[in-house]
Amino acid sequence: MEPEPPPPLSTLSRSFFERETVEVARDLIGVWLLHQGVGGPLVETEAYSDSDDPASHAFRGLTRRNRAMFEEPGRAYVYFIYGNHFCLNVVAHPPGRAGAVLLRAIEPRLGVESMVTRRGRSQPRLLASGPGRLCQALAVDRSHNGTCMLDWLLASHSPTAISSGPRIGIRQAVERPWRFCQSGSPWVSRRLA
């Protein structure tokens, strides 16, 4: 049985993503991520800026791999990591800069049966909590790199309490509180310390 449908949703404008990466990461909490009718509200994100962020793929400048981070805000930046899973980011930065927001977790709300099939797991908590799980649950892979995400990310206009803390899974600039979570959400990949 599918959960109840989402509240009324509206499309985000490109200008939403043409701001400081950290601001966009925070403001994406509660926004719905839908790909081919499968998804739910974002409950966890992380910001990765450009030359001022040594943990960012853009830190050392433009490369073939990170090209999307320097391009038009609102597009997908998808990369393969640890030899076993994809990570989905949405490009977000002011003009002339680079940056992207890692989409770490959603609350599974629509297309849950598809998520279960794709993940090979039925435990709701393990369907889309973590970047690799999220990509597998939504069938996102490298072919989506550079794709416009304006019709994937929809505002719900529901107030959401947000907490922040250090990013995880990195070695540099760990102390920056650029990981954002829906306060008290059981769907995050790891609770804030």
In a domain, 44, yes or no: yes
In a domain, 193, yes or no: no
- Count of structural domains, the chain: 1
pLDDT on residue 156: 84
Q: CATH number of the domain that 120 lies in?
A: 3.10.300.10
pLDDT on residue 1: 47
In a domain, 4, yes or no: no
In a domain, 151, yes or no: yes
Phi, psi of 87 (to 5 degrees): -125, 135
pLDDT on residue 4: 63
pLDDT on residue 5: 64
d(CA 78, CA 143): 8
How many other C-beta atoms lie within 10 A of the C-beta of residue 121? 15
- Tell whether the torsion through CA atoms of 158, 192, 125 and 22 is positive or negative: positive
Query: Whose CA is closest to 91, among 165, 40, 16, 7?
Result: 16
Q: What is the pTM for the complete model shown? A: 0.94
Query: Whose CA is closest to 109, among 188, 185, 30, 38?
Result: 38
In a domain, 22, yes or no: yes
Q: Report which secondary-structure segment, H or E, holds 87.
A: strand 85-91
pLDDT on residue 30: 96
Give the domain range for residue 154: 10-178
In a domain, 160, yes or no: yes
As averages over each run of 10 residues, the pLDDT of the chain (193 residues) reads 69 96 97 96 96 90 91 96 90 96 97 96 94 98 97 87 93 91 95 79
In a domain, 188, yes or no: no
